[in-house]
């Protein structure tokens, strides 16, 4: 059963702790079980000890991962790419030296889905396996700016490309 737009959104009051001055809410993809995903999303966010952030429109989870070396960052990306293939879902991401920004969102139908939440959890586990370091890039840093530019230029991933 498809959920209505209203039932896919977590109330602003529920998520006010994320950005107190904001009325941001999560926008789940149509067909997603918002009631089941709500606690899982909340557990990934800073108030619950998580390190993921909701994007401004509430349709994606984004996190910056830092590693000791470029090789560790690349190994992390390779492991995440394998999981993306297994789950038939891809991230939006960028990498600058030892820092990788990962964004999980669903493009069709638009919004946050169970795959996004599941793969965010998997990313956390993989990052621990590759000895993630605590050196988060500030919001708006180089890798984040690169990701925004690439996503803007790439177009819709869910439509066939002209060759």
Question: What predicted TM-score, i.e. pTM, was given to this entire model?
Answer: 0.72
Domain ranges of the chain: 5-154
Q: List Cα–Cα distances, 96 to 29, 45, 46, 47, 100, in angstroms.
A: 30, 24, 24, 28, 7
pLDDT for 135: 74
Using DSSP bridges, classify how beta strands 99-107 and 110-111 pair: parallel, antiparallel or unpaired.
antiparallel
Topology of the domain comprising 5-154: Gyrase A; domain 2 (3.30.1360)
**Alpha helices (runs of H) in 16-69, residue ranges in sequence order:** 34-44
**SS3 for 94?**
strand
pLDDT for 8: 40
Mean pLDDT per 10-residue interval, the chain, length 163 residues: 41 33 70 94 95 94 97 98 97 96 95 96 98 71 61 57 59
pLDDT for 98: 95
C-alpha radius of gyration, the chain, whole number: 16
Cα–Cα distance measured from residue 123 to residue 96, given in angstroms and rounded to the nearest whole number: 18
């Amino acid at each position: 059963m498809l959920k209505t737009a209203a039932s896919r959104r977590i109330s602003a009051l529920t998520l006010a702790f994320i950005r107190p001055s904001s009325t941001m809410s999560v926008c789940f993809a149509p067909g997603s079980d918002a009631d089941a995903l709500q606690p899982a999303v909340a557990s990934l966010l800073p108030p619950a000890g998580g390190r993921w952030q909701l994007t401004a429109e509430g349709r994606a989870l984004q996190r910056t991962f830092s590693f000791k070396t470029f090789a560790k960052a690349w190994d992390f990306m390779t492991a995440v790419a394998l999981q993306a293939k297994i789950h038939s879902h891809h991230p939006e991401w960028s990498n600058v030296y030892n820092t990788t920004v990962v964004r999980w969102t669903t493009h069709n139908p638009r919004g946050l889905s169970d795959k996004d939440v599941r793969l965010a959890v998997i990313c956390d586990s993989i990052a621990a396996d590759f000895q993630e370091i605590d050196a988060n890039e500030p919001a708006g840093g180089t890798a984040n700016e690169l990701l925004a530019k690439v996503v803007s230029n790439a177009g819709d991933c869910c439509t066939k490309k002209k060759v």
